[in-house]
Amino acid sequence: MLTKSGFKRQRMADYLPIMEEQARELFGEDADLSDRTPLGKFLHLQAQQRAEDNEQLEMVYNARFIDTSEGATLEANVKRALLTRKRWIKATGEVTVQLSKGAKINTGDLFRTKYNVYFKALETVQAVEDGNYRIPVEALEYGAIGNIEPNDLCIIVNPQSGIHSVVNQDAFFNGQDEESDEELQDRYYASLGKVGARRVESIEANVLDEVAGVRAAIAIENDTNVEDAEGRPPHSVETVVLGGLDEEIAMAIFKKKGGGIRAYGSTVYTFTDNRGIVHEIGFTRATTVNVYVKVYIKKSNQFPISGENLVIAQLVKYVGGTYDGTLYHGVGMSTDVICTKAEARILSIDGVEDVRVEFSIDGVTYEAQNVPIAFPEVAETDESKIEVMPLV
C-alpha cells in the first residue's frame, strides 16, 4: 500500500481479517471461517497470496532507490552517475625465468606461489643462450587472490630440464573481485564528491572509480608554502593507493589534481601529453602488514559444528584480507587492529562464552595487544594465519 510516507507492505495478518469480514457479509455471521473448513482454508490461501504479491510490489517500489535496490536494478540506478559495477579481473604481471640455452617455456605452462595460487605463461619463449627471460603471466583464478608480493611466485609446477628458477620481481596489483552491492553503493556516494568537491576528495573518488584492482585510496594535501612534517613539498598532494596499475593510477590522479599542484609520492610515473609536455605523477604504494592471530575460545553446547570457520571469517572481515574467495577491506588504511574489537566480533557468534585474541606480525611472538598500523600501511590476514584453540 502506497502512503505519503512511502510503501507500507501488507502482510497476511493484515489481509486475513478484511477477507473474513467480507466472507461473513456474504455467508452470514455464523459462517465457520476456521482453517479446518474449506472456506477458511481458501481465505488463508488467498490472504497468503496477496501478502506475497504485496512483497513483490514493495521490491518494485524499492528498486527505484540506490539504498534499497540490488543486483541488476542497482547497476541500472548507478548508471545515472556514469558508474558501472567493477567485474572480476585476473591478476597479470611478469616473471623472470632462468633458462639454459635451448630450454623452452610454452604458452600455458604453470607456475605457483608457496600458498598455491597458480599462474600460466602467456607467451612461448625459447632461450637462445643461457640467461634470464621475462615472461608475462596471468592468474588462473579471477580476483584479488592473484595480487601477490615480490618473490611470492617461485615454484615451477612441471619442472623440465633447462628451466632452473622462476620469480616475480615486482608485485602484482591488478587482480580484482567483483564489486558487491554494498561496495557499489558506497562508491556511488563517494562519486558524488567528484563535482564541486575538495581536490583530495575528487582524486580519491577518481582513483577508486577509474582504476581496476584498487582496494583503497587516500589523498593528503599540503596546501601551504612550506614542506610539511611528513616531508611533502609545498602545494602538493600525496595519494596512497592499495592495488591497481601504476599508469592507470597516475592518469586518474592527473585528471583531478589541478594545475600548479605537484603529485608527490615514492612511486613516480612519467608520461608525455599530446602537446609534448612531460609530466611526472607521483603517488605512494600502501604496504600490507601481515597479521597472525591465535584465538582462544570457551564454547557452550550451542557452538555450531562450523563454528571455527565462523570465527576465522569474522576475524578476516574485521582485519581485512581474503576468506573463501572473497576480499574484505577490513579496518582500512592506517588503522590499528584492536584486540577488543576482534573479540567483540567473535563473542557475537552463538555458543562462544569467552574469548581471548592474541596478535603477531611475525607468526612467532603472540601477545594480547593491539597491532599498530602506521602510514601508509594496511592490515591483512587470511585463514592460513589464524589458529583457533580452546580457552583453558
- What are the pLDDT digits (tens) for 22-53? 988 888 888 888 888 898 899 899 989 998 88
Q: Evaluate whether residue 172 is within a structural domain.
A: no
Q: 278 and 313: one domain?
A: no
Q: 220 and 300: one domain?
A: no
pLDDT of residue 83: 79
- C-alpha to C-alpha distance for 321 and 337, rounded to whole angstroms: 13
* C-alpha distances out from residue 207 to 101, 126, 260, 332, Å: 44, 39, 20, 16
Q: Does position 198 have pLDDT exceeding 80, yes or no?
A: no
**321 close to 327: Cβ distance less than 8 angstroms:** yes
**Own/partner pairs for 61-65, CB < 8 Å, 24+ apart?**
61/2, 61/6, 61/7, 62/7
Number of domains in the chain: 4
Q: 131 and 217: one domain?
A: no
Q: 301 and 272: one domain?
A: no
Q: Does position 175 have pLDDT exceeding 70, yes or no?
A: yes
pTM of the predicted protein model: 0.51
Residue 88: closest CA among 179, 218, 182 = 179
Q: 163 and 128: one domain?
A: yes
Q: Evaluate whether residue 112 is within a structural domain.
A: yes
Q: Which domain holds residue 37?
A: 2-62
pLDDT confidence bin for 192, thresholds 50/70/90 = low
* Low-confidence winner among 80-89, 239-248, 262-271, 289-298 (lowest mean pLDDT): 80-89
Tell me the per-residue pLDDT of 239-267, one tens digit each, with 9 for 90 and over: 999 888 899 999 999 888 877 788 999 99
List of residues 6+ apart from 240 with CB closer than 8 A: 217, 218, 219, 220, 265, 283, 284, 285, 286, 333, 375, 376
Q: 281 and 294: one domain?
A: no
pLDDT of residue 196: 44
- C-alpha to C-alpha distance for 323 and 384, rounded to whole angstroms: 10
Q: Evaluate whether residue 123 is within a structural domain.
A: yes
* C-alpha distances out from residue 190 to 179, 209, 336, Å: 15, 9, 23
**226 close to 184: Cβ distance less than 8 angstroms:** no
Q: 277 and 301: one domain?
A: no
pLDDT of residue 191: 66
- C-alpha to C-alpha distance for 99 and 104, rounded to whole angstroms: 8
Q: Does position 166 have pLDDT exceeding 60, yes or no?
A: yes
Q: Evaluate whether residue 299 is within a structural domain.
A: yes
Of the three residues 46, 62, 78, the one that is the final residue of a domain is 62
pLDDT of residue 86: 83
Q: Does position 82 have pLDDT exceeding 80, yes or no?
A: no
Q: Evaluate whether residue 247 is within a structural domain.
A: yes
* C-alpha distances out from residue 267 to 203, 241, 307, 327, Å: 16, 10, 43, 25
Residue 149: closest CA among 105, 107, 176, 115 = 115
Tell me the per-residue pLDDT of 295-352, one tens digit each, with 9 for 90 and over: 999 999 889 888 999 999 999 999 988 888 777 878 888 889 999 999 999 998 889 9
Q: Evaluate whether residue 275 is within a structural domain.
A: yes
Q: Judge if the upstream peptide bond of residue 376 is cis by omega within 30 degrees of 0.
A: yes
Tell me the per-residue pLDDT of 272-284, one tens digit each, with 9 for 90 and over: 877 788 889 999 9
pLDDT confidence bin for 358, thresholds 50/70/90 = very high
- C-alpha to C-alpha distance for 180 and 54, rounded to whole angstroms: 27
Q: Which amino acid appears at position 147 of this protein? A: N
pLDDT of residue 193: 55
pLDDT of residue 366: 96
Q: Evaluate whether residue 183 is within a structural domain.
A: no
Strands 163-167 and 92-99: antiparallel
Q: 110 and 158: one domain?
A: yes
pLDDT of residue 213: 77
List of residues 6+ apart from 310 with CB closer than 8 A: 304, 349
pLDDT confidence bin for 197, thresholds 50/70/90 = very low
Which of the two residues, 93 and 82, has the higher pLDDT score?
93
